[in-house]
Amino acid sequence: MSVVAIGLILCAAVAHATWNVSLKRAEGGPAFLFVAGWWAAALWAPLGIGFAIAGDASLRSILLAVGVSGCFHLTYFLTLQRGYRVGDLSLVYPLARGTGPAVSVLAALVIRHEHPPALALVGAGIVVAGLLSLARGHVSGRTAIGLALATGLVIACYTLWDKHAVDDLAVAGVTMSWGTELLRAIALTPYARRHRDEVARVPRRDAIAFAFLSPFAYILVLLALATTGVAFVAPAREVSIVVGVVLGRVVLHETVDRRRMVGAAIVAAGVVLLSVA
């Protein structure tokens, strides 16, 4: 994995953990996703449209890439916010982020026929093990756990599709990320029209932070995908859980015991192996 890819992934990890805190603090919901979606569509429109015009992808390829990715991302955000409504960030986030790379690496080997070195596979396994150890022993309902695992499965799906869109369809990552935000906002408009009171109560500060950081984090991931394989990027980006543990303690005032600190250290060790592989 190149130094550039590592830098992109680490920056994405910080941004990713931060917007998850905003989503959890605002208690999510379709109304929040609607407001944040329109903010993101407006903020990222110049770059999204500019890259679409300057790129080599056809309009048909762009629409296909955005349409499929947008459906995956809408499902992802709706499932994640439901998980945050019934469970703690310190449970849902590690499980969701741990399931995603585990499935992504397996799918990359089977579907995309990537062949990462053995050290990278060991590192990926350590990352997943560390994430699961962070969630182990946390008391919460089965619903939150189920939603977290479902979120992780959707993460694997959109990671593989977006890799295909960037490599095979030649769609710019910035354009695709902006397009998925716009598609989500449009899709949630009927809900927002029926629940205007919920929309009015959405905390604008968290919505704007989410609107900027969520696309920014994933654009960095897409740029990393353009320089290296899914089997490397998907697990390495999960270093965000280390940042999430810290933010959970500092911002959300969650209890960070020895188990979680050890789990974070295990994740970091796995990322180091991925970086040197």
- Could you write out the DSSP letters of every residue in 173-197? HHHHHHHHHHHHHHHHHHHHHH-HH
Please compute the mean of the pLDDT values over residues 158-187 and round it to a whole number: 90
| Degrees, nearest 5: CA angle 88-78-90 | 15
What is the pTM for the complete model shown? 0.81
pLDDT exceeds 80 at position 210: yes
Please compute the mean of the pLDDT values over residues 18-36 and round it to a whole number: 89
Q: Give per-residue burial for 248-259: e unless 16+ CB within 10 Å, then b.
A: beeeeebebeee
Tokens of 169: 């369809």
User: Is the Cβ–Cβ distance between 79 and 151 less than 8 Å?
Assistant: yes
Q: Which of 70-79, 120-129, 227-236 has the lowest mean pLDDT?
A: 227-236
Of the ranges 69-83, 161-175, 230-244, the best mean pLDDT one: 69-83
Its domain, for residue 149, covers 3-276
Reported confidence tier of residue 234, pLDDT bands at 50, 70, 90 = low
Reported confidence tier of residue 98, pLDDT bands at 50, 70, 90 = confident
Residue entry with tokens 């699961």: 132
pLDDT for position 167: 86
Counted domains in the chain: 1
